[in-house]
Amino acid sequence: NTQDELIPVEVDFGLVRRQRARGIKNMGQPLKSFRDSTQTFGVYGPNFDRSYLDSLGPLERPGRANDPAAAAAPVHPPAIPEIRVVAEPEARRAALAGDQ
């Protein structure tokens, strides 16, 4: 007997975009380091689409935390997602009722 299970996940895409641009806790910018590396990775050949990596901007060394120019953008609380009720199909409901 199998049963479907929904697992809600909350993702703050603003925070994700900021961490990709500035690095997690300003401690490195791995996508930019990968993009700017002189190392050749065979899987990323001449046909590899670099448009996303190029959109991240230049690799920058973050300033001090007390420098207003280097201050992090405010992190806004995540929006409360809309809860949607999904009705079970009639056949499944009837099958479950028959098991009792």
Domain ranges of the chain: 13-98
Candidates 77, 78, 65, 51; CA nearest to 22 is: 65
Q: How many CA atoms lie within 13 A of 75 on its CB side?
A: 10
| Measured distance between the N- and C-terminal CA atoms of the chain, rounded to whole angstroms | 13
Digitized pLDDT (tens) for each residue of the chain, 100 residues in all: 788 888 999 989 888 888 777 777 666 667 677 778 888 776 677 788 878 878 877 777 766 666 655 555 554 554 555 656 556 566 666 666 665 5
Task: Measure the CA–CA gap between 1 and 99, rounded to whole angstroms.
Answer: 11
DSSP-H helix ranges across 1-100: 13-22, 30-36, 51-54, 90-98
In this prediction, residue 60 carries a pLDDT of 74
Task: Measure the CA–CA gap between 29 and 22, rounded to whole angstroms.
Answer: 6
- Cβ atoms of 36 and 51 within 8 Å: the answer is no
